[in-house]
């Protein structure tokens, strides 16, 4: 799961033969609290944009139960072009993660090791974005 700009919020490792909608609750619950300006940290996103693969009553019910507004494309009804701008962000984030060679081809046999490398890759992605936005300074001694 990523935020609107493409920064990863949560990483969950699952088998390749599982449908995405079966892991939705696990991914939403894996989001850590986001600290805002004042008040209690926000634990869950306000809205969640998803493609047609998540168009199941169980997904909508799970999101509604958590107080999340579901923006899920309906199979056979909504045009894919309207959702395309949100989907591009996710595809770009997955591309950033796949640039890490260790994750492009799975060398680890244990899921815990693979999850650790995926978390590390997401940390590096967030660090690079913070430098690019000027939130951190990158002093490289020579």
Residue ranges and CATH numbers for the domains of the chain are: 20-133 (3.30.420)
List phi, psi (to 5°) of 8. Answer: -65, 135
Pick 37 or 134 by higher pLDDT. Answer: 134
CA 68/CA 129 separation, integer angstroms = 26
Model confidence band, residue 6 (pLDDT cutoffs 50, 70, 90): confident
So what's the pLDDT on residue 121?
93
Pick 106 or 26 by higher pLDDT. Answer: 26
**pLDDT tens for each residue of 111-142:** 889 889 999 999 999 999 988 888 877 665 55
pTM over 0.85: no
């Amino acid at each position: 799961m990523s935020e609107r700009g493409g920064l990863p919020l949560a990483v969950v490792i699952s088998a390749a033969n599982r449908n995405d909608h079966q892991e939705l609750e696990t991914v939403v619950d894996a989001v850590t609290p986001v600290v805002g300006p004042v008040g209690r940290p926000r634990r869950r996103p306000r809205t969640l944009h998803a493609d047609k693969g998540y168009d199941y009553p169980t997904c909508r019910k799970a999101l509604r139960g958590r107080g999340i507004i579901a923006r899920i494309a309906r199979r056979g009804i909504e045009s894919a072009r309207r959702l395309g701008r949100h989907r591009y962000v996710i595809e770009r984030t997955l591309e950033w993660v796949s640039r890490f060679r260790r994750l492009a081809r799975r060398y680890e046999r244990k899921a815990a090791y693979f999850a650790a490398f995926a978390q590390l890759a997401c940390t590096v992605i967030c660090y690079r974005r913070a430098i690019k936005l000027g939130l951190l300074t990158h002093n490289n001694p020579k």
